[in-house]
């Protein structure tokens, strides 16, 4: 069963808090591909979208695709994202280095609350922090 926007948001923020860092690595493997945020890393980390995708759907070729391109190239993945625009903005929350601290992990609380307000979702920082403990 598909998640509601609220369930998707809650699962994503809880995941970011628990993980404590971005899923970051080499984008393609070819020289010049560079590095960036990944749906999945070899170390088992995942981004705000990657956490919702089962292993059976994930393909290394997805790296470097934004969520809009992902659901076009791999239509079966769309079922895991109740809202592509919400997923996209949560990807940006994950990708933005200013939302992370090397000592405190996820610190993008103001931005997360702004996203919740934009989408008419509830936001309780203490609930996410407790879930991340």
Query: Of the candidates 22, 6, 46, which has an alpha carbon nearest to the alpha carbon of residue 96?
Result: 22
Q: Is residue 98 part of a domain?
A: yes
Residues spanned by the domain of 65: 5-128
Per-residue pLDDT tens over the stretch 53-79:
999 999 989 998 899 999 999 999 999
Q: Is residue 133 part of a domain?
A: no
Q: What is the pTM of this model?
A: 0.91
- The vertex-17 CA angle with 37 and 72, nearest 5°, equals 40
Q: Structure tokens of 82?
A: 């109740």
Residue-level pLDDT, tens digit, the chain, 133 residues? 689 999 999 999 999 999 999 998 776 655 555 667 899 998 999 999 999 999 999 998 999 889 999 999 999 999 999 999 999 999 999 999 999 999 999 999 999 999 999 999 999 999 998 887 7
Torsion of CA 81, 85, 89, 95, to 10 degrees: 60
Phi and psi based region of residue 129 (left: phi greater than 0; alpha: psi -120 to 50; beta: remaining): alpha
27 neighbors 64 (Cβ within 8 angstroms): yes
Q: Is residue 57 part of a domain?
A: yes
Number of domains in the chain: 1
């Amino acid at each position: 069963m598909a998640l509601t926007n609220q369930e998707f948001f809650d699962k994503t923020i809880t995941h970011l808090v628990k993980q404590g860092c971005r899923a970051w690595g080499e984008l393609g493997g070819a020289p010049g591909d560079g590095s960036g945020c990944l749906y999945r890393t070899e170390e088992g980390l995942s981004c705000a979208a990657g956490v919702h995708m089962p292993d059976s759907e994930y393909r290394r070729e997805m790296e470097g695709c934004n969520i809009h391109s992902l659901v076009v190239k791999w239509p079966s993945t769309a079922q895991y994202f109740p809202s592509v625009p919400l997923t996209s903005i949560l990807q940006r929350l994950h990708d933005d280095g200013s939302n992370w601290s090397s000592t405190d992990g996820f610190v993008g609380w103001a931005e997360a609350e702004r996203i919740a307000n934009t989408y008419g979702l509830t936001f309780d920082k203490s609930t996410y922090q407790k879930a991340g403990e």
